[in-house]
Each structure stands twice: as C-alpha cells, then as structure tokens.
Amino acid sequence: MPLTPRRIPVVLALLATLVAAGCGGDPTATPPSANPVPPAPPSGGDPANDAARLVATLTDEDLVGQVLMPYAYGDSATRVSAGSAAGNRKLAGVDTPAQMVEKYRLGGVILVGFSADDPTGSNQATTNVDNPEQVHGLTTGLRAAAAKLPAGSAPLLIGIDQEYGVVTRIKDGVTNLPSALATGAAGDPALTEAAWRAAGTELAALGVNVDFAPVTDVLATNSAVIGSRSYGADPKAAGAQASSAVRGLQGAGVAATLKHFPGHGHTSADSHEDLPQLTQDRKTLDAEAISPFKAGIDADSWLVMSAHLDVRAIDPGTPATFSRKLLTDVLRGQLGFKGVLVTDGMNMGAVQRWSAGEAAVKAINAGNDLLLMPPNVTQAYDGLLAALRDGSLPRARLVEAVTRVLTLKFRLATHSTPAMSTLNSATHREAAQRLATASITQLRGTCAAAKLPGPVTVSSSGGRDQTRKVLTEALRAAGVEVVEQGGTVVHLVGYGDQAGDLRADAAVTVGMDTPYLLGKAKSKVLLATYSSSAVSMTALAQVLAGRAQPVGRSPVPVPGLPVSSCTR
C-alpha cells in the first residue's frame, strides 16, 4: 500500500505507539484527512499485525468511534418502537441501533437489561434482551451495520453483563449458572471452567463476543453492590475461580473481563451512586484486592474493567477510571496487562460530575481503551474528536487504544460461531448442575439433618413467588411431598432481606444471596445456595430430598457459624 501524505501522521503515531507503548505522542501532529480510505483486509495471520495494518488506514472519525461502546434502545438493529427511537435520539441523535453504529463508527455495543435484585439496575436505562431468537437477530443486525464501516473487516464487539446470579441479562432459553459466590463455595476450578465454557459457547451462538465477567472483587466487606457477585473473601481462591472462568469463556471464543479493578469488594459504597473510597494501605490492597486481578491477567484475560473508585493509597481524589497512576503505572506497568482496558459504565453517578466529552477524554488519557455506556454518545464522540485535533488527547494514545481494540476483534474473529442448537443443551445443563450441587453449604445441623421428611411447606420473604414455585417443582420431582401449609417449613431469604424477613418456626432457613443473614436465623438447619437460579433450587431440592450432600464451604465468614457444619 503506498504511503500517501494523508497516511503519514497516522503511521508515525502507530510507530510511536508500538515503540513507546503509549508513553506520550506529538500533540502538534497534523490530523489526517477526514476523507475515508478503504479498510485494510485482514491477512488471516497475527491479530496484532492485522490491527496495525488496519489502524494505519483509519481517519480521525474512525479512530474515535472505535473506542466507544454505548448501549442503544430497541430489540432490533433496524426496527424499533417510537419510544425506543426517542431514547436513541436523546442518547445519540439517531433512531435505531444500526444508525448509531454507522454514524459514530462504533467499536462496540453493549446489550443491557433489567433483572430482579440487580444492584446494577440504576444505570440500565432500557433493555435489549427478550429471548434468544430476538438477541440473535439483534446481534446479526448490529454486525451487518458495522461491516459497512472502514473498520468493518474487524467484527463489532457486542458485550453483555452475563455474570450469573443477581446480574444476569439473558435468562430464558439458555443455560444459567449459579452465582459467583456459589461457585466459590463449590471451590472446584475444574467445575467452574467447564460451566463457564458451556455458558461462553451459548453467548457466542447468540452473537455476543464479550462478557463483562467474571467479577474479580474480593468480598472484604458486607457490600450490597458486590455481594454474591464475588467469589468470596479469600484473594487466592477468588483469583483461582476468576482464572477458571476466564479460561472457560475464552476457550469458547468469548472475551472475558476482569472487574472492577482495583477491587470494588473492599468498600460497601455503590459507585452507581457516588465515588466510593478505598482507604486501605498499598500493601493491603496489593495482597487482598489486586492479587486476584494478577491471577486473571496471568490466565490471559483479554479485558480488564476499571472501576469508579477513589484509591487513597495510590491516587487520592481521582477516580481509578481517570487515574494514569493506577491504570498505566500499576495495571500495565506492574501487573503486565496487555489487553483491552474498558471503563465501567460512564453513565454511573461516580463520574457524572464531568460532561460526557470531558469524561471520555480523561478516561482515554488515563489508559482506558474502550468507553462503556457514555451518557451522551454525541458529546463523547465530539469531545474525543476535538481533543484529538487540539492535541489534548495525544494521537499516539488514541492509536494505541484503537490498536488494542482491533487486535481483540481480530483475535475473536479466529473463532467459529456455534449453532443456536447448542443453547440449553443437556451437556451444558449438566455442567451447570454439577457446579450448583457442589456449592450447597450447610452452616448449622448435621449432614443427615438436611434431609427432610415430608410433607414440606416452602415459604419465603416477599416477592419470591417464582423462586418458591421453582423449588416446589424441584422438590416434587425429587420425590418430596410439598403442601401449602402444615408441613416442615423451608424458608427462603435472599438479596436485600433483613432480620425481619426470617421465620422463627422454620425448620430450615436457606440463604440465596450472601449468607450473612443466616447468622441471625434460629432454625435447626441452615443452608446456603448463594443464588436463586433454577439450577441452584434444583440442587437444594436434591439436598433436602437426601439425594445429595451439602458439601460446599462458605466462601465468606459468617459470625457465629462455621464454614460448614456438614463434616464427613
């Protein structure tokens, strides 16, 4: 390809990036022409080489678009309701998701959705998720729109928060895993990897190629925003579990994301609302919060997510999202992370004091490569473009970010797409069930006491009718008689419940989120599932029917209770 004058600045910036690893750039460099140039086709070889070839052809507008990953309104790429069109116009000045991809030359799109007991719900403004066929149609349409772009030889990133447990966007028609905390209770990395490979295969079949999971935060506090999303309180165990999830997902062709760096589980505050502080000293942070991320990086996680946290020991007063000391010096320099660094949602309360454009520039300058969910796509795009052209965003830094994003895309393109028939297959369900069964933990009573004579009455705190129904059906399938009232009481409590939601006459109390509330329960038998998913309720039924032993061990300490009372 001839080196025309308009390509020289971009090529020079790319060379500077590759040599200096992003340590500055020439803010006086002449911006390339805005006229589009043909995309460089992939060589079919090394993803990094393909990315370098493609990035050298891209205009300013293309470069800026590749670092944006917003959400959009609508369950189809090209046909949306009047309400969704209005939402997209407010967010990005377009009617449909496909138009958003094309206008802003987006690097990716995140699918969003509502779910019960979701601690991340405050920044989920809409939903793109209804059923597998709809999701597949949406992702197909988004990819078709992206293929028309100058960077279209690299596939669009389509991401989702599919953590399992309280944050699960796609529930129906797919294999659902137990929560991370349940996985930590099972304590078997081999089971974890197998289950996450099954889940990753199904995401890939749906057209999703980035999962914003696993949560790598150590649960050092009773945090409602992290809670059962964490693998537990032990940094080494959390790192092992997160690493297994990474291997499972990426073995299936879906990029994993370690989050929320440098560790949201060390604060009980919620970055969806405000800027939490981490007040621990550096030694404590390294040993307890950061070490699981190092394990996940060593397992070759392709993404890490930066958190909106004020880390007092490293860069006081600056959200980690905007901290070059944390992201470039610590994460890149000390931990050796070489993949894509994505922000947490830029529409969250912790970073809302800055305009969308200013926040976007600050985040990229700090070392992020991909901006998730900007609150106004137009402002973020225009802010980045203006900063690139006036030199306040060094061209080398942006080229470095885009090169990483494109390298990830070409890496993902080497994986084939599984058939939709793989969804909720018997093999996948079995992998999830083995993990869930291994997670059930008994914290009071002998092993034998968990087996209940019938009849059984299932009760719960308010709003859990569906979970009671699922457990009732699973008990009956396991041969246990269930009656509406008068039987041995099994009482369910979960996310957000307090001591007043316990039942004094329950023979068995079951904790379906973090197990801390069980410390206040009076039941003779205490069990923890850490999850209200159907697979966890099936595992619970097997234990109550005496068909399985509650062999899990609590991954967090519960005052007054052992990690397990079922000793063998």
SS3 content of the chain, % helix, strand, coil (to 5): 45, 10, 45
45's CB contacts (< 8 A; 6+ apart) are none
Give the DSSP letter string of 60-84.
HHHHHHHTEE---S-SSSS---HHH
Are 264 and 304 a contacting pair, CB within 8 Å? no
* 140, two tokens: 């197909």
What is the per-residue DSSP string for 17-66? HHHHTTS---TTSPPPPSS--PPPPP-SS-HHHHHHHHHTT--HHHHHHH
Alpha carbon of 256 to those of 3, 50, 412: distances in Å? 37, 21, 11
Is 344 considered catalytic here? Answer: yes
301 φ/ψ sector (left φ>0, alpha ψ -120 to 50, else beta): beta
Instruction: Compute the C-alpha angle 65/70/72, nearest 5°.
Output: 120
Query: Which residue out of 272, 308, 428, 491 is catalytically annotated?
Result: 272
| Catalytic, out of 286, 315, 344, 497 | 344
Six-digit token string for 457? 């009455």
Examine the residue annotation and report whether 272 is marked as an active-site residue of this protein.
yes
Whether the CB-CB separation of 217 and 260 falls below 8 Å is answered with yes
Containing H/E element for 421?
none
Which residues does the annotation mark as catalytic? 272, 344
